[in-house]
Amino acid sequence: MKFIEILKVLLFGIVEGFTEWLPISSTGHLILVENIVHLDQQEAFWNVFKVVIQLGAILAVVLIYWDKLWPFSRSKSTKKRNDTISLWIKIIIACIPAAVVGLPLDDILDAYLSTPTVIAGTLILYGIIFIVLEARNKKTIFPINSMNKLDYKTAVLIGLFQCLSLIPGTSRSGATILGAMILGCSRAVAAEFSFFLGIPVMFGASLLKIVKHGFDFTGIQIFILLLGMITAFLVAAYTISFLMKYIKKHNFTVFGYYRIALGIIVLLYFNFVAA
């Protein structure tokens, strides 16, 4: 395997790790990188590779929040164990809308909406929404400022917002964070619940695509998958830590401006450079 191909794999893992949990659309970034840097592999394997590096990003959430997410720890009191089980019920019911809408429409949405114009449009649109919402939130006191205060009804409504992310470029974390804040969640609660929602949704989508492809990989392909996944895992772990520290003192406005800038870059690149 050529050294340049290893660098490409590392680049894709880094991009996935940085963008999956930030509300800036990993799809928007990957489509740009994919059109500039090409892996020397068949399209079917490339689709699996994108799924596997997502798994690396998911595992970072599982590791960082293991204590909060694992209900059967011996160190947990009965109340904390029940709180964790309740959290998982909220996560599962919040995932139902996306599963019901997404499973039958997955291939159709990929075929017809995975275009640079749609991705650029959703990047810009939700960037504007972030800026407007945070301007409104300057003096807002969020009533849901801890995970225990997030009730089942709110969890379901956040799950409905998650359906918006089926449109490429929206960003799953972006849609759920926006939805959660609109419904009264603090930035920290919105971000964490968005992380947790990603675990079953992305695991399910990833395993579905891997099963569709099959498990017939060469030794080099297995190396590529593992390298990309580990890179995404390490970078995602850093990114999650950074985001939670950042929003303690700042809001999401900067991500709104970033989305708008990225959307403009996508439009310009695909209309003038790659045309």
Express each pLDDT in 187-220 by its tens digit.
999 999 999 998 987 787 777 777 776 777 888 8
Higher pLDDT, residue 72 or 203 = 72
Higher pLDDT, residue 98 or 13 = 13
The residue whose two tokens read 């017809």 is 112
Q: Tens digit of pLDDT for each residue in 8-31? A: 999 999 999 999 999 999 988 988
Q: Tens digit of pLDDT for each residue in 119-144? A: 999 999 999 999 999 999 988 899 99
Higher pLDDT, residue 246 or 104 = 246
3-state helix, strand, coil in the chain (%, to 5): 80, 0, 20
Q: How far, in whole angstroms, is CA 248 from its chain's centroid?
A: 20
What pLDDT was estimated at residue 263? 95
Q: How far, in whole angstroms, is CA 58 from its chain's centroid?
A: 9
Q: Is residue 275 predicted with pLDDT exceeding 70?
A: no
d(CA 215, CA 226): 14
Arithmetic mean of pLDDT, 179-188: 97
Residue 25 is encoded by which pair of tokens? 């659309």
